[in-house]
């Protein structure tokens, strides 16, 4: 019988790679969820929370741009590297913009209780 769908054909040909990618994506999703919870607990003001949201939105925008850049570079032998490089550069710029907004609105990330406690012991 013929193939049912091109995506299913690709998955059938690359089962191990697809399983590894699925495991990594699941693991990253769990790590991101825990990081979001921890960041949300530390953010005490509305401005800090807006900074966190903008950071996550920029990250969520940069990841597909990075994927499109990698796809373009891999699939088009002629101009793919140029467009891939441009998209990867845009993805990095968007990600850095999110980090800058987070820093401006929420402050430094290293303001954790463990670091404050260690710093206060030195003052005694």
At 60, list the tokens.
């969520």
Instruction: Please check whether residues 56 and 115 belong to one and the same domain.
Output: yes
Containing domain of residue 54, as a range?
A: 44-124
- pLDDT for 124 equals 45
Contacts of 117 (CB under 8 A, 6+ apart): none
Block means of pLDDT (10 residues each) for the chain, length 124 residues?
66 72 81 73 81 89 88 83 90 93 80 52 50
Contacts of 74 (CB under 8 A, 6+ apart): 80, 84
Instruction: Please check whether residues 71 and 98 belong to one and the same domain.
Output: yes
Instruction: Please check whether residues 14 and 61 belong to one and the same domain.
Output: no
Taken in order 76, 82, 87, 92, the sign of the CA dihedral is positive
- pLDDT for 100 equals 93
> pTM of whole model > 0.85?
no
> Residue 60 and residue 78: Cα distance in Å, rounded?
29
């Amino acid at each position: 019988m013929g193939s049912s769908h091109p995506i299913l054909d690709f998955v059938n040909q690359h089962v191990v790679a697809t399983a590894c990618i699925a495991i990594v994506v699941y693991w990253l999703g769990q790590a991101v969820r825990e990081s979001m919870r921890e960041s949300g607990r530390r953010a005490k003001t509305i401005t800090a929370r807006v900074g966190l949201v903008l950071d996550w939105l920029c990250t969520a925008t940069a990841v597909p741009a990075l994927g499109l850049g990698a796809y373009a570079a891999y699939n088009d032998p002629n101009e793919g590297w140029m467009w891939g490089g441009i998209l990867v550069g845009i993805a990095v710029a968007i990600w850095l913009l999110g980090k800058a907004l987070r820093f401006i609105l929420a402050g430094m990330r290293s303001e954790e209780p463990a670091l404050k406690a260690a710093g206060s012991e030195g003052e005694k």
